[in-house]
Amino acid sequence: MNLIQRIILNARIKPLQRMLASQFGNPTGLLGGMLARLMNKGNLIMNTGVVDQMGLTPEHHALDIGFGGGAALGLMLERIKDGKVIGMEMSADMIDKARVTFAEHIKTGRLDLLEGLADSIPLGPSVIDCVSTVNTVYFWPEPMAAFKEILRVLKPGGRLVIGMRPREVMERITLTKYGFTIYDPEDIVRMMDEAGFMEISHVLMKDDEIGYLSIKGMRPTA
C-alpha cells in the first residue's frame, strides 16, 4: 500500500471520511476515477487471486459485480477468448470509463457492461458459469437478496468467488465507519448457505501485504 492510499484510508476528518466512504461504494467524478485507479493497484493481487480461483476456461461466460476500475475485467478477458465477460457496476461513471478502456473488447462482443446492483442483475436465469466480486459486499443493501440473485443467474454447477478484507483489517480503516457493513467470513458463509449455495468454503489468503479472504460457493447441479 503506497503513501497516498494510506492517507486516504486513514483520513481523520469526519466529513472527509464520509465523502471518501461514499466514493468507495459508488465512485463518481474525478475523485472516483482516482480512487478506482488506486484500488486497481492496491487490490491487484486480490483480483488476480479471485480470478484464478474462478477456474475460467476460454468458453466461459463470467460476470464481475462491482468492477470499479476494471482490473478484474482485464484479467478475465485474458482467460476468456470464445465466451463472454460481463461487468456490472452501479456507478455510471465507472461504466463510461470502462467503455473507453475496453472499447475493442466491447466492439468484438467479448465484453458487455451493465448498470445495476447485485440484488437485481439484468440477466436471465442460468446463463453464467462464474461470478466474481471483490470488495463490494460491504455496500450491498440487501445481501441475502443479492446471493439469491447471483444463484439465479448461475448455471447449475456454476461458481461464485468473493474477495474481501478480514474484519480486523477493515476495522483499522477509519472511513469504514460510514456506509460500510463489515462481515466475518462466517456471516457470508451463512447467507450463502441460506440462499442455496453448496460446497461453500473460505480461506485467508496471505499473498498480499494485508491479506484477504476468498469465499467460494457453487450452485447445486440438481
Region label for 47, one of left (φ > 0), alpha (ψ between -120 and 50) or beta (otherwise): alpha
Sheet holding 212-218, edge to edge: 111-115, 84-89, 61-65, 128-134, 154-164, 212-218, 198-205
pLDDT band at 14 (very low <50, low <70, confident <90, very high): low
Rounded to 10 degrees, the C-alpha dihedral 56/57/61/66 comes to 20
Contact 38, 7 (CB under 8 A): no
| Per-residue pLDDT reduced to its tens digit, 37-62 | 677 677 788 999 999 999 999 999 99
Q: What integer is the mean pLDDT of 170-196?
A: 89
Contact 212, 150 (CB under 8 A): no
Q: With a cut of 70, say whether residue 87 has pLDDT above it.
A: yes
Contact 139, 117 (CB under 8 A): no
Contact 145, 137 (CB under 8 A): no
pLDDT (0 to 100) of residue 27: 61
Phi first, then psi, for residue 98 (nearest 5°) are: -65, -35
Higher pLDDT, 122 or 15: 122
Q: What integer is the mean pLDDT of 131-140?
A: 94
Q: With a cut of 60, say whether residue 111 has pLDDT above it.
A: yes
Phi first, then psi, for residue 122 (nearest 5°) are: -80, 60
pLDDT (0 to 100) of residue 1: 46
With pLDDT > 90 as the criterion, what percentage of the chain qualifies?
Answer: 67
Region label for 6, one of left (φ > 0), alpha (ψ between -120 and 50) or beta (otherwise): alpha
| Per-residue pLDDT reduced to its tens digit, 146-181 | 999 999 999 999 999 999 999 998 888 777 777 789
pLDDT (0 to 100) of residue 102: 96
Q: Domains along the chain?
A: 3-218 (3.40.50.150)
